[in-house]
Amino acid sequence: MTENEAPPADIVVLGKIAAPYGLRGAVRVYPFADDPAAWSKLSHWWLGREADAPALWHRTRLLKCKQHNDLLIADLACLADRTAAEAHTGMLVGTPRAELPPTEPDEYYWADLVGLAVINSRDLSLGHILGLIETPANTVLRVGDGQSAERLLPFVAAVVLDVDLPRRRVRVDWEMDW
């Protein structure tokens, strides 16, 4: 594989470059996953902007990665200095699905949840998962139907009763008027 290789169609977004770190091109990365330390085992990361088509993402070698508080500090082959790191602020970090370790039971990659239908315990549709938000207390599901305001549901066992990936739906204990 080369750095100029075409990006695969199944890139899973792992996090976002938050800011430069130091003067030599390292970056702070805000993770979107529970086990960001495992990313340091990847040989390459893919970088792209949220609005970019997958074809515009580019592959770069991961030189070094360490966890620092809630962030990762990463040295990437494509970032030679602070100026290059500044230019990459806001870029998403991803990897092809095939390079990710399998999930444990009741563990999910965020990319697998986005787009799933959300049904409450009365079989009423609340919409679809639009995205997720990481908070200090727990992850929050952004649920919407395109017609009413978004709902924010905590991704905790008391609310999320079942995640059925094959049927592409999530069953929740949440009423329509909450």
- Could you report the per-residue pLDDT of 90-105, keeping only the tens digit for each? 999 998 888 887 888 8
- Per the rule left: phi > 0, alpha: psi between -120 and 50, beta: everything else, 127 is left
- Cβ atoms within 10 Å of 141's Cβ, excluding its own: 26
CA distance 129 to 49: 21
- In three-state secondary structure terms, 159 is coil
What is the rounded average pLDDT of the residues 156-168? 96
CA separation for the pair 2, 5 (Å, rounded): 5
Please tell me the distance from the alpha carbon of residue 9 to that of residue 29, in angstroms, as a whole number: 23
Q: Taking the model in full, what pTM does it have? A: 0.69
All structural domains of the chain, each given as residue ranges with its CATH number in brackets, are: 11-97 (2.40.30.60), 110-172 (2.30.30.240)
Q: Give the residue-averaged pLDDT of 150-177.
A: 95
Please provide the DSSP assignment of 80-109 as one string.
-SHHHHHHTTT-EEEEEGGGSPPPPTT---
Tell me what pLDDT residue 1 has: 40
Residue 62 has a pLDDT of 96
Tell me what the pLDDT averaged over the chain comes to: 89
* Lowest-confidence pick of 26-35, 48-57, 146-155: 48-57
